[in-house]
């Protein structure tokens, strides 16, 4: 099988997609020159993929977007976030990873993105071929980049995330969450309920529709553990749940748990940390 793979230089997920694609057949790795322009990129890739049996990219925002453009252009099916292929049957991620789907693809070429972390990243090896998009293409492209105000530890990259849910009770209740996060040099997270209630900004939200985190330790305080939340924190090496309900679903995803009132437990942990450090 001949496979065309979109590789974005320096992008870990596209090197994973490349590794996955090599298990399918003969790979031709390409990147596209110039500023990001999904429509123009897709046009170039579609032309380059003439005769290929499969077109593959990373299951990233960009990879999924470019392939959706390619598929729309060719009027062929597109399977996003695939974990496995068996003939014309793909296994793909649903519900942010809480569920998998087996689906038959009726079309050619096979157009699919590779779900993150199903295959190890592989070095590109031979030089990646650079495609040059049609300069007269007028489809939307990035015209400006606005830098974000920096400050604090980034949620996506934090080594520790201390997260609060409905059980925290109020915006003010997050003071103890912030205190523990600061002591651990970590970031504050929250569940969707908290964002919807306006207690914390959406930038703090961990979950399927928020930020996906992968810290060494994720502390879930007063979070019941809806699948939508777990989809955002299951990348953590260890999860500690602090919850009043010993039957809360979060315990089925946690490595450690403390049962009781987080308003007492969280400050006690902060105090114990200070004590351990001799402060």
Partner 1 sequence: MKVLTCVKRVPITGGKIVLTDDETAIRTLHLGFTISPHEECGVEEAVRIVEQSGGESVVLTLGPAEAEEQLRECLAIGADRAIHLVTDGEEWDPQATAAAIVEVVRAEAEPFDLVVFGNESADAGGYQVGIRVAYALGLPVVTGLKGLTVADGRARCEQESAGGRDVYEVSLPAVVTVLEGLNLPRYPSVPAKLRAQRKPVASSTPARPEPRLEKLRLVVPPGQGKQAEILGNGPGAAPAVVAMMQQIGVA
Residue numbers 161-180 binding partner 1 by CB under 8 A: none
Dist. CA 233–CA 218, nearest whole Å: 7
10 φψ region: left (φ > 0), alpha (ψ -120 to 50), beta (else):
left
Using CB under 8 A as the binding rule, whether residue 203 contacts partner 1 is answered as yes
Site for partner 1 in 108-167 (CB under 8 A): 113, 139-148, 159-160
Choices 12-20, 22-30, 126-134, 206-214; region in contact with partner 1 by CB under 8 A: 206-214
Does 102 bind partner 1 (CB under 8 A)? Our answer is yes
Residues 6+ apart with CB under 8 A from 106: 77, 88
CA distance 17 to 119: 7
Considering only residues 8 to 37 of the shown chain, the ones binding partner 1 according to CB under 8 A are: 36
Is 265 an interacting residue with respect to partner 1 (CB under 8 A)?
yes
Q: Work out which of 9, 104, 129, 130 binds partner 1, going by CB under 8 A.
A: 104
Query: How far is the CA of 227 from the CAs of 94, 208, 245, in angstroms?
Result: 11, 8, 17
- CB of 48 vs partner 1, minimal distance in Å: 19
228 binds partner 1 (CB under 8 A): yes
Nearer to partner 1, 89 or 125 (CB): 89
Q: Is 72 in the site for partner 1 (CB under 8 A)?
A: yes
To the nearest whole angstrom, how small is the minimum distance from the Cβ of residue 270 to partner 1?
A: 9
Q: Which of 78, 128, 168, 199 binds partner 1 (CB under 8 A)?
A: 78
**Closer CB to partner 1, 27 or 269, in the complex:** 269
- Measured from the CB atom, the residue of 120 and 143 that comes closer to partner 1 is 143
Cβ contacts of 213 within 8 Å, gap of 6 or more:
155, 156, 158, 161, 189, 206, 232, 233, 235, 236
Q: Please give the backbone phi and psi of residue 66, each rounded to the nearest 5 degrees, phi first.
A: -60, -45
Binding part of the chain for partner 1, among 19-27, 76-84, 117-125, 127-135 by CB under 8 A, reads 76-84
Task: Answer yes or no whether residue 224 interacts with partner 1 by CB under 8 A.
Answer: yes
Sign of torsion over alpha carbons 165, 169, 171, 174: negative
Stretch that binds partner 1, among 16-24, 120-128, 129-137, 184-192 (CB under 8 A): 184-192
SS (H, E, C) 195-257: HHCCCCCHHHEECCCCECCCCCEEEEECCCCCHHHHHHHCCCCEEEEEECCCCCHHHHCCCEE
Q: Quick check: helix, strand or coil at residue 119?
A: coil
């Amino acid at each position: 099988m001949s496979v065309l793979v979109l590789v974005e230089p320096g992008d870990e997920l596209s090197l994973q997609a490349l590794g996955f694609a090599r298990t399918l057949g003969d790979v031709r790795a390409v990147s596209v020159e110039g500023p990001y322009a999904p429509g123009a990129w897709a046009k170039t890739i579609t032309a380059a993929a003439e005769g290929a049996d499969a077109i593959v990219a990373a299951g990233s925002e960009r990879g999924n977007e470019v392939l959706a453009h390619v598929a729309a252009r060719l009027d062929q099916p597109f399977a996003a976030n695939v974990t496995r292929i068996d003939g014309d049957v793909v296994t793909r991620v649903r519900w942010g990873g809480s569920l998998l789907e087996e689906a038959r693809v009726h079309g050619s070429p096979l157009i699919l993105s590779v779900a993150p972390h199903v295959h190890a990243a592989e070095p590109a090896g031979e030089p990646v071929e650079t495609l040059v998009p049609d300069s007269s293409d007028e489809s939307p492209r990035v015209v400006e980049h606005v830098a974000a105000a920096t400050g604090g530890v980034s949620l996506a990259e934090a080594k520790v995330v201390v997260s609060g849910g409905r059980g925290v009770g109020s915006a003010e209740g997050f003071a103890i969450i912030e205190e523990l996060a600061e002591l651990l040099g970590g970031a504050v997270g929250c569940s969707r309920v908290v964002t919807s209630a306006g207690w914390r900004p959406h930038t703090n939200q961990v979950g399927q529709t928020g930020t996906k985190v992968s810290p060494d330790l994720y502390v879930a305080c007063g979070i019941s553990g809806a699948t939508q939340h777990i989809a955002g924190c299951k990348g953590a090496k260890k999860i500690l749940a602090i919850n009043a309900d010993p039957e809360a679903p979060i315990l089925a995803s946690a490595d450690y748990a403390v049962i009781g009132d987080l308003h007492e437990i969280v400050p006690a942990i902060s105090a114990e940390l200070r004590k351990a450090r001799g402060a």
